[in-house]
Amino acid sequence: MDATVGIPPAVTEETEPFWTAAREGRLLAERCPACGVESFPPRGICRACRTRPTAFAEVTGPGVVYSLTVNHQRWLPDLEVPYAVVLVEFPGHPGVRVTGRLRGCPPEDACIGMTVEIGFEPGPGGFAIPSFVAAR
């Protein structure tokens, strides 16, 4: 079973649409209806012009790894280590960077600039957690 372990996310009014879409395998960022600026994670207010409420835009892959780290610490008893955590940018979605676990390649093969696809994994509390899959 290749599932994430940990503590279920705290869902708020601002993040509920994100988690609902995640269950359907769709990654949502916030898009301001007034100025068009996108941001992630959802905050319920535009980071550029302070408009609220905001709307959502679907982000699709592939994405590009902007930064990464490899975790060797077994934070929880069921956690398989090591694994890479990547911060991913998406062409056409400036300002949106999403963090997630990297799958599909050994953690030591993770590198900045690599192409990844969006994937979701079953997570704690029945939530679908965004993660990334190394593109072939």
How far is Cα 96 from Cα 39, in angstroms, rounded to an integer?
Answer: 5
Say if residues 66 and 89 touch (Cβ distance below 8 Å): yes
User: Which residues, in sequence order, are bridge partners of residue 134?
Assistant: 116
From the CB of 72, what's the least distance to Zn ion, in Å? 40
CB atoms under 10 Å from CB of 101, counted, come to 19
How far is Cα 102 from Cα 130, in angstroms, rounded to an integer?
Answer: 10
From the CB of 54, what's the least distance to Zn ion, in Å? 8
From the CB of 45, what's the least distance to Zn ion, in Å? 9
Residues in contact with Zn ion by the rule CB under 5 A: 32, 34-35, 37, 46, 48-49, 51
| Nearer CB in complex with Zn ion: 5/34 | 34
| Nearer CB in complex with Zn ion: 8/36 | 36
| Nearer CB in complex with Zn ion: 3/49 | 49
For residue 113, give the 3-state DSSP assignment.
coil
